[in-house]
Amino acid sequence: MPPLPPIGIYPGNFSLNVFGLAGLFGADESISFIQTIHHYKARKFLGWYNSPGSLNVGKKCGKLAKSRFWDWLFPGPDEEPTKFFELDGKQGPKYVASRSGYVLGYTGHFAYFIMQKSKEELGYQLKGRVTKRNKVTIIKTQPQLVREIPPRIGRHTLVAILPIGVSFITCALCGWAHDWFCFSMILLGIVLNGIFSVVIGSARLKLQGVNSAPTAPPGDGMLMDGDDIVLLIGKERDVATITRGKFILEYDPWPVEYEYAAIGFCSLLFIIQFLCQLLLIPQGTLFGQIMFLSSLVASWAYNSYLSLIDNEYIQQQLILEGLHLEEHHMMTYSLGTRTTAAVFACLVLQPPVICAESEWVDLDFELESVIRAFIPNDTQVWVTWRKKISEAMRQRNSNQDACHGLLKMSSEEESYFEAGERKLLKNLLEDAKTAYDLAMEVQKWLKEK
């Protein structure tokens, strides 16, 4: 076998092939930076660095522009801004209205995060019989007076000095070394990413509620997700904002013909930037290419740091602040059985009035719908149990001992049911007593402002 030829290294002809990294490397992290740009104050002014991933960023952001020209240039369905920034698209749990009995199969973005917040709460562990715990969170909805959500102040502002400083320093060093190819590409990346950040971050984040008639009855109801229940107490408009409200991004009008054309133009420049890098970076010196790569690495590190921030947690906090839901407006209980949770929910949602038998239907309270949302059983034991719950709820504010007396088996029922059924009914009624006592305590909290 002939000997292998010696490997010669000629620095003068050596060229780093970094253009693929420039256009493709770090695209996901760059997009994560863009998707949270509206959450933080001054974030749109911190994009003056040579960011990687220009090709994929341009292709994805270009779908925000809406016109036949942009659709031809960036094929595929148009991206809605709220969907692109992940401010919409989450499917919330089922909603059951306690007054009308109306059932909404799924709710929207806000309800999803409200339910997630309730799941995170440990809740007060209620004593009593335990089969499988159900968590019930009560929320006193508040009037939404402020629709525009102010941006938060983040610690990442100082961290942005790293990629910005590295990009300007490497650009200056390329000029000092007379490598104008790499100098121009780093400078182009700084200017383009900075302008794009200002353009795409210029929108104002707002909360869009749902209007209702001034004479509309209270919108009390419950969100249901398995063993997690959220009871919403308040006006129809405030409850509807949680179940059907959404974020919107409001951009100032630009002096161009088509909506979001400025974003489309910047996206086109990202594609051009990638092509320029493809052609010009290999023409630079080894030193210039190392400087170019260094600016990308620093920017990628900063974007990676920002991508670690939990976007869902930020949105959850923005929703709670936008809806004015402080900790003292929410209370969570962990109940031992499904029947305890069902009776407790009925008592909390029931209008706090005492009325005659003939006036019961005028309350517009769908007791049957609320209970069936928890337990749809129709055996004789459950029918009897629901009847007793209804009788006790009519007397809920009159006398506690009298209500407890209604939650006991009569002699006729003891003789009618078999031993197993009697035991089941007795347990169910004990659960109802536990729920009743807790609801009477919670009623005092509900009356507080």
Kindly give the residue spans of alpha helices, DSSP state H, lying in 352-410.
Answer: 367-374, 380-394, 400-406
CA 76 to chain centre: 26
Pairing of strands 221-225, 228-233: antiparallel
The SS3 call for residue 395 is coil
Q: For the chain, list residues with pLDDT below 70.
A: 1-24, 26, 101, 144-146, 213-217, 252-259, 352-366, 396-406, 449
pLDDT at 5 (0 to 100) = 45
pLDDT at 111 (0 to 100) = 92
Question: Can you tell me the distance from the alpha carbon of 96 to that of 307, in angstroms, rounded to the nearest whole number?
Answer: 37
**Residue whose structure tokens are 């000092």:** 176
> 202-230: per-residue pLDDT in tens?
888 888 887 776 666 677 889 999 899 99
**Measuring CA to CA, which residue among 321, 302, 305 is closest to residue 313?**
321
Pairing of strands 94-97, 221-225: antiparallel
Question: Can you tell me the distance from the alpha carbon of 340 to that of 342, in angstroms, rounded to the nearest whole number?
Answer: 5
Question: Can you tell me the distance from the alpha carbon of 117 to that of 321, in angstroms, rounded to the nearest whole number?
Answer: 13
pLDDT at 441 (0 to 100) = 85
pLDDT at 356 (0 to 100) = 47
For the chain, domain boundaries: 11-88+148-206+246-315, 339-449
pLDDT at 410 (0 to 100) = 76
CA 164 to chain centre: 31
pLDDT at 365 (0 to 100) = 66
pLDDT at 351 (0 to 100) = 75
**Measuring CA to CA, which residue among 236, 68, 42 is closest to residue 157?**
42
Question: Can you tell me the distance from the alpha carbon of 223 to that of 229, in angstroms, rounded to the nearest whole number?
Answer: 6
